[in-house]
Amino acid sequence: MMNGERTNQDIEPRCANGISASEVSDLDKLRFYRDEVKHEFNLLGMRSTMLVFCQSFLVVPFAILNTAADFRTVLAAEYLIAGLGILLARILAEPIDAAHRALEQWLLRQRSLQQQSESIRDLAIDRDLIPGAAADLREDQDHARSLAFSRFAPTGFIIFWAAAAVFRTVRALTQG
Q: How do residues 45-62 score in pLDDT, each as one tens digit? A: 999 999 999 999 999 999
Going by pLDDT thresholds of 50, 70 and 90, the confidence category of residue 135 is: low
Q: Alpha helices, DSSP H only, in the chain?
A: 8-11, 26-66, 75-116, 141-146, 148-174
- For all residues of the chain together, what is the average pLDDT? 84
User: Is 89 inside a domain boundary?
Assistant: yes
> In terms of residue numbers, what domain contains 136?
25-174
User: Is 12 inside a domain boundary?
Assistant: no
Which range, 16-25, 66-75, 153-162, has the best average confidence (pLDDT)?
Answer: 153-162
Query: What is the pTM assigned to this prediction?
Result: 0.76
The DSSP secondary-structure symbol of 69 reads S
Amino acid 42: pLDDT: 95
Q: Which residue has the higher pLDDT, 136 or 75?
A: 75
User: Is 81 inside a domain boundary?
Assistant: yes
Amino acid 127: pLDDT: 67
User: Is 70 inside a domain boundary?
Assistant: yes
Phi, psi of 5 (to 5 degrees): -75, 145
Amino acid 60: pLDDT: 94
Distances (CA, A) of 79 to 2, 15, 65, 85, 137: 70, 53, 11, 10, 40
Task: Give 14's strand partners.
Answer: 20
pLDDT at 133 over 60: no
Cα–Cα distance between 40 and 100 in angstroms, integer?
A: 8
Distances (CA, A) of 15 to 21, 24, 38, 82, 164: 7, 9, 20, 48, 52
pLDDT at 134 over 60: no
User: Is 79 inside a domain boundary?
Assistant: yes
The vertex-83 CA angle with 80 and 84, nearest 5°, equals: 85
pLDDT at 76 over 70: yes
